[in-house]
Amino acid sequence: MRTSQASLAQLYELKGQVSVSREESTNILKIEATSDEPEFAARLANAVAEGYREENIASRNRQVNDAKLFVQDQLKLVDEALRKSEQALLAFKEHEGRVFLNEEARQALENYSRLQAELAKLAQIKREASDQLRLLQANEALPGSGQARVFTDDVQALIARLNQKLVDLNTDRAALLINYTPKHPQVAELDAKILSVKQEMMRELEGKVRTMSERENSIKEGIARFKERYITLPKAALQLASLEREVKVNGDLYANLKQKHQEFLIRGAERIEEVSIIEPAATPGSPKNAPKAALNLMLSSLVGVLLGFVLAFVRESMDTSIGTIEGVEEFLKAPVLGVIPQVDRTEIERTIQKVFPETLDAETVELLSRLSPLFDLKGMVAEGYRSLKVNLQFACADRTVKSLAFASAGLGEGKTTTVLNLAITIAQDGRRVLVVDADLRKPAVHSRLGLKREPGLSEVLVGNAQWQDVVQTAPDLMLGKLGFDQILSAPGVDNLSIITSGHLPPNPSEFFNTQRVVDLIAACEETYDLVVFDCPPILPVADAVLIGPKVDGVVLVYQVGKIGRTPLLRAKTLLENAQAHIVGVVLSNVSAEFSPDYHQYQYYRYSS
């Protein structure tokens, strides 16, 4: 499609009327448009916001569409090969009649078929990795072009982290190009980062291709050894075995591709949205920076202004005027289940030194400082979590609750700390508790407990591991960074189990919209008294909203002053729209200024 000079000029003129800036310490984009017509300014800002949102959706779904088309093409080829091999086998049997093989010969041929099938699968994975490598090499000088494709789990697991980083960098680059040219220093800096990620991906893929080539040669040697057995077999038996082997290899390959095609159809039907418009632009009532009377006559007809806010991935910076516990309950129409007090770090370290007189390294002290119930049962923080435990039991008294999801509106509100300390507190009562790190974007459970991250939840959800095999327990904690003596002396740890996040997939939301999640929750509920999910923030991504309806209840964690009223309410609304049951709210890291009546609140909650 050709674009006229007049149209290009008009586009450049519109681009000059729009500016985009990021709200400080947030991932909110503020879109500002100017025009001599207020209504047009509003429409322009809204159009830019909607266009950015749609482009983000298209970018996030492009990988799935590309993969689906690739699998469709492969299905046609394999289907034709399978049909021909089946026809050849049928024709042979009709011509030769019944052909018999002794047990030794049949065993040799079965092993031969197994190696052939493994070789075919390996060749497919190697081909996909090589294709991706060639794509990256071709686009190395064009960091803004090209999107990574989705491959089989073997290759996808290898480059998932780098692939996600590449997609994020390209998205940031597209946002910068709204205001800047490709030669702008900020864009150039992103280009350099994109190129660096692509080069790292190429190194990883080159190593993977070399490894697969070595494995391929090893399999071929095994096939050659089995071929020696064929020399002594009758010609008809050899031909029958060859035809049956070809049918089996093609059949297995077709079934594998068919399953992947169905998965991509399901994923393609989803609309992955990671950008939302918080507040559409309204027609301004007065010009921006209204001039003095003398200048107003000249400029009043030229300027109209508006502000549009676009949520991009994480959190919002709005009004933070909820000033009391009762204010939170009234605003959210949900009970406050617990108030976790803010404690001075020096005081915590002093307590750790008192409980553990031996010298602890800085990393162990850092880990313990976030897990007060492990060593300071009489402290204010441990008291806060015991209060939360009791209030949670009261709130769930009218229904059976075996699984809970903890989520927050934005980042850094103390969600993971709350999950771990509550789980420890409940385990100290003798109840079996399983903590599942469901944050497959920025997981923290493994690092807070000093455990290894893989294998974990993602391996279970893709079918590469059974959930029982990835559970980590007290022995793992003892051998981890928290220390043997520290865990050995901590009460209740033997009742605590952990499933870490595992490897980080490119699109975690797809994992939580499957039957496997439902089956996993049901299986864990049969084994444990309580299953607690640590979910990612609600506003940036859809993961928590997808998990919420699948568990018995959701608890919101809110750090007063971290985010404002509007995003907090929006997070609750998103959960309610998904039919999730909201049990209540936990206020984390609460200072004395917010709640001077903290002790009275605790007493009231225990007594009610």
State the DSSP string of 114-146: HHHHHHHHHHHHHHHHHHHHHHHHHTTT-TTS-
Nearby residues of 97 by Cβ (< 8 Å), 6 or more positions away: none
pLDDT grade for 564, boundaries at 50, 70 and 90: confident
Tokens of 339: 């108030």
* 507, part of any domain: yes
Could you tell me which residue, 118 or 497, shows the higher pLDDT? 497
Q: How many CB atoms lie within 10 A of CB 373?
A: 26
User: 389 and 466 in one domain?
Assistant: yes
User: 398 and 503 in one domain?
Assistant: yes
**Final residue before a domain boundary, out of 269, 303, 333:** 269
Is the pLDDT at 301 greater than 70? The verdict is no
Query: Which pLDDT does position 210 carry in this prediction?
Result: 83
Provide mean pLDDT across the span 26-44. 76
SS3 555: strand
Is the pLDDT at 410 greater than 60? The verdict is yes
Angle at 74 between CA 72 and CA 79, to 5 degrees: 95
Per-range mean pLDDT, top range of 58-72, 170-184, 206-220, 396-410: 396-410
For residue 502, the surrounding DSSP H or E stretch is none
User: 483 and 553 in one domain?
Assistant: yes
* 293, part of any domain: no
- Which of these, 539, 498, 454, lies nearest to 160 by C-alpha position? 454
Strands 582-590 and 336-341: parallel
For residue 514, give its domain range: 325-607
| Window from 145-154, 496-505, 538-547 with minimum mean pLDDT | 145-154
Query: Which pLDDT does position 271 carry in this prediction?
Result: 54
User: 243 and 170 in one domain?
Assistant: yes
Tokens of 418: 């709350």
User: 264 and 178 in one domain?
Assistant: yes
* 176, part of any domain: yes
Query: Which pLDDT does position 423 carry in this prediction?
Result: 92
Q: How far apart are CA 416 and CA 448, in angstroms?
A: 9
pLDDT grade for 532, boundaries at 50, 70 and 90: very high
* 302, part of any domain: no
Is the pLDDT at 608 greater than 70? The verdict is no
Tokens of 284: 């301004």
Q: Measure CA 122 to chain center.
A: 28
Give strand pairing partners of 530: 433
Contact yes or no for 279/267 (Cβ under 8 A): no
Q: How far apart are CA 205 and CA 250, in angstroms?
A: 27
Per-range mean pLDDT, top range of 146-150, 319-323, 370-374, 533-537: 533-537
Could you tell me which residue, 289 or 501, shows the higher pLDDT? 501
Provide mean pLDDT across the span 279-290. 64
How big is the chain, counted in residues? Answer: 608
* 278, part of any domain: no
User: 351 and 252 in one domain?
Assistant: no
**Final residue before a domain boundary, out of 252, 269, 286:** 269
* 115, part of any domain: yes
Q: Tell me the one-letter amino acid at 425.
A: T
Q: How far apart are CA 173 and CA 590, in angstroms?
A: 38
Furthest-apart CA atoms within the chain: distance in Å: 107
Provide mean pLDDT across the span 191-217. 83
- Which of these, 201, 205, 203, 132, lies nearest to 169 by C-alpha position? 201
Could you tell me which residue, 297 or 453, shows the higher pLDDT? 453
User: 380 and 255 in one domain?
Assistant: no
State the alpha helices, DSSP H only, in 491-587.
515-527, 543-547, 565-577
Provide mean pLDDT across the span 542-562. 88
* 281, part of any domain: no
**Final residue before a domain boundary, out of 269, 297, 312:** 269
For the chain, the domain total comes to 2
Q: How far apart are CA 170 and CA 147, in angstroms?
A: 9
Mean pLDDT of the chain: 75
Give strand pairing partners of 338: 586
Is the pLDDT at 438 greater than 70? The verdict is yes
User: 330 and 248 in one domain?
Assistant: no
**pTM of the full structure:** 0.50
State the alpha helices, DSSP H only, in 402-554.
415-427, 445-449, 457-461, 467-470, 474-479, 484-488, 515-527, 543-547
User: 335 and 261 in one domain?
Assistant: no
User: 93 and 241 in one domain?
Assistant: yes
pLDDT grade for 419, boundaries at 50, 70 and 90: very high
End-to-end CA distance of the chain: 71
pLDDT grade for 302, boundaries at 50, 70 and 90: very low
User: 354 and 258 in one domain?
Assistant: no
Kindly report the CATH number assigned to the domain that includes residue 478: 3.40.50.300
SS3 197: helix
Query: Which pLDDT does position 601 carry in this prediction?
Result: 44
Provide mean pLDDT across the span 383-387. 88
Query: Which pLDDT does position 317 carry in this prediction?
Result: 41
% residues pLDDT > 70 (the chain): 73
User: 338 and 265 in one domain?
Assistant: no
User: What residue ranges in 247-304 does DSSP mark as E strands?
Assistant: 275-279
pLDDT grade for 422, boundaries at 50, 70 and 90: very high
Query: Which pLDDT does position 294 carry in this prediction?
Result: 44
Contact yes or no for 477/483 (Cβ under 8 A): no
Is the pLDDT at 428 greater than 50? The verdict is yes
Is the pLDDT at 126 greater than 50? The verdict is yes
Own/partner contacts of 255-262, CB < 8 Å, gap of 24 or more, are 256/121, 257/71, 257/74, 257/75, 257/78, 258/75, 260/71, 260/152, 261/68, 261/71, 261/72, 261/75
| Window from 254-258, 300-304, 374-378, 467-471 with minimum mean pLDDT | 300-304
Q: Tell me the one-letter amino acid at 319.
A: D
Query: Which pLDDT does position 300 carry in this prediction?
Result: 45
Query: Which pLDDT does position 110 carry in this prediction?
Result: 65
Contact yes or no for 162/205 (Cβ under 8 A): no
* 372, part of any domain: yes
